[in-house]
Amino acid sequence: MTRILIADDHDVVRSGLHTILSAQPGWEVVAEAEDGRQAVQLATDTQPTVAILDYRLPSLNGVDATREIRAIAPQTEVLIFTMHESEPLLRELLEAGARGYLLKSDARKFLIAAVESLALHKPFFTGKISETLLSAYLSHGHVSDGALTTRERSVVQLIAEGHSNKEVAQMLGINPKTVESHRATAMRKVDVTSTASLVRYAIRNGLIEP
């Protein structure tokens, strides 16, 4: 019996997944969560075979939820279900322990195959970026650092949220000049020349909410 947990904040999506998955012989949806915390809680309680998590979840996002579920229920495989393909996101997810990545637009074609694969503890990924990144991960045990370092990401995040260099410096407890430095290298790395473009980058890659 393949036991499945569904976590998505939109009940319409949950209904859709539920009907599609329940139609498969031997598959059972054992829990539905509408936010991250609930997903972790239900995963603990039900110990499902596969947990399907939307990346955008209230209270606890997909990455953090993945990390917690992997810690609490190690035999549960996590399938991330998301709108857009983002490389930094995928990287984080791999580190967090997700073993599947399914684009919402690929759902019809690959949903069954993805869950099937995860149930056998084999990874499953869709999308252009996925193949290269996944093979790199499987051969090295980790993926090379993304465009931005941790510090750079924090800075970009706070900047994109509307804070000035000075404010960011205070929040992080460092010198404004250092913030400038991180900001500058980050901007060079992602190849933009204005704050506006940097904000768009941050939003596209899920560093902040629009």
Partner DNA sequence: CCGCAATTGGGGAAAACCCTGAGTTTCGCC
Partner DNA sequence: GGCGAAACTCAGGGTTTTCCCCAATTGCGG
Nearest-approach distance from CB 138 to DNA, in angstroms: 16
- Under rule CB under 8 A, residue 147 binds its own copies: no
Look at residue 184 and give the partner it binds from DNA, its own copies, none, a contact being a CB closer than 5 to 8 Å depending on partner kind: DNA
Residues that bind DNA (CB under 7 A): 145, 149-152, 159, 164-166, 172, 174-175, 177-178, 180-185, 187-188, 193-195, 198
Closest alpha carbon to 150 in 207, 84, 96: 207
Using the rule CB under 8 A, which residue among 37, 41, 107, 129 binds its own copies?
107
DSSP code of residue 188: H
Q: What distance, in Å, lies between the first and last C-alpha atoms of the chain?
A: 40
Residue span binding its own copies (CB under 8 A) among the ranges 40-48, 127-135, 169-177, 201-209: 201-209
Which strand ranges, in their side-by-side order, compose the sheet holding 2-7?
A: 27-33, 2-7, 50-54, 77-82, 100-103, 124-125
SS3 of 62-127: HHHHHHHHHHHCCCCEEEEEECCCCHHHHHHHHHHCCCEEEEHHHHHHHHHHHHHHHHCCCCEECC
**Residues contacting 184, CB < 8 A, separation 6+:** none
Helix (H) or strand (E) holding 2: strand 2-7
153 lies in the site for its own copies, by CB under 8 A: no
Among 37, 104, 151, 189, binds its own copies (CB under 8 A): 104
Pick between residue 105 and residue 164 the one whose CB is nearest to DNA: 164
Residue placing its CB nearer to DNA in the complex, 26 or 173: 173
Please report whether residue 195 would count as binding its own copies according to CB under 8 A.
Answer: yes
In the list 1, 12, 150, 173, the residue contacting its own copies (rule: CB under 8 A) is: 12
Q: Which residues bind its own copies (CB under 8 A)?
A: 9-20, 84, 104-105, 107-108, 111, 159-164, 192-200, 203-204, 208, 210
